[in-house]
Structure 1
Amino acid sequence: MKALHLQPLVGFGNIKLGMTRTEVLLMLGPCSTSFKNSPASLYPTDAWLNNGLRVFYSGTVPRVEYIELSRGAGFEVELWGHPVFSTKASLLIEFIELHSSLDREDPELGYSYTFPSIELSLWRPIVDSPDGQFFSTIGIGVHGYYSGVN
């Protein structure tokens, strides 16, 4: 299984936060789908790899604002050399807390885990089942995405 290396505040592989949509499309090729994440979205969200990689844009010129990767799309995500989707959620949280503080005020805590200083989030749709032991998505944003600090 291919591993995608995610680096908070930077990007993954050759895809960097802050790149233009045009640059991303040149790197990854045509996306498999493009959709408006919400009615208020200025730009479509682009998706590749069976919708397992989603890139969100913002700005006057569409630039990468947020990157989200999903479990079950045929790849593993590595964060600082550590597998994300095959590590139990509790252990992954402990590992990330070695690098950043968890936002313990998150109203969706249990499902959503945010680490504002590194603009990183983890999410799972269920908690109390065997599948809920692992996260479903990991995402990283530009400076200020979660922290509100630019």
Structure 2
Amino acid sequence: MRLGFVSCPDRGAADRLLAALAEGLLARGVAVAGLVQDPADGPVCTMTVRLLPDGARLGISQTLGAGAEGCALDTGALETALGEAAARLRPDTAVLILNKFGRIEAEGRGCRPLIATALDAGVPVILSVPPRMRADFDAFAGDLAEEIAPDLPALLNWLDRA
């Protein structure tokens, strides 16, 4: 299998795990592409993604104003970030790491084309799938995806096999 995913019930856990995976691989000189999300900062969050491998940061949330209690994804900014991530995908890329399969992907947009591009090129893909999005992800991936235990050793083992 070349499509692996983790599912973490705790807010921010998957973001931290995938960021740690990316940092560890980059430190070893592994060719990594994609994007990871910086953990949200507070009840009214500002979502920021870090592009791999260079670490450029892009905001992907919109300001909702005073009294807002949640995050509001800026889909245009997300599409820009995904375009930047796609531009960093190279023939020698060893793995594509993507922050998550969320509502936008369930609707048929977001990172779905980038996943397909990477898989077509033979590049393994790792991403997170929030528990609430599992049914939508399963409908998208079918039997092509493999769930990976949400820890670094399991992710590294999966990459060795992929």
**Could you say which TM-score interval applies, normalised by the shorter chain?**
under 0.3
> TM-score if structure 2 supplies the norm length?
0.26
TM-score by length of 1: 0.27
Structure with greater contact order relative to length (CA < 8 Å, sep ≥ 6)? 2
Q: Indicate the structure with greater helix content.
A: 2
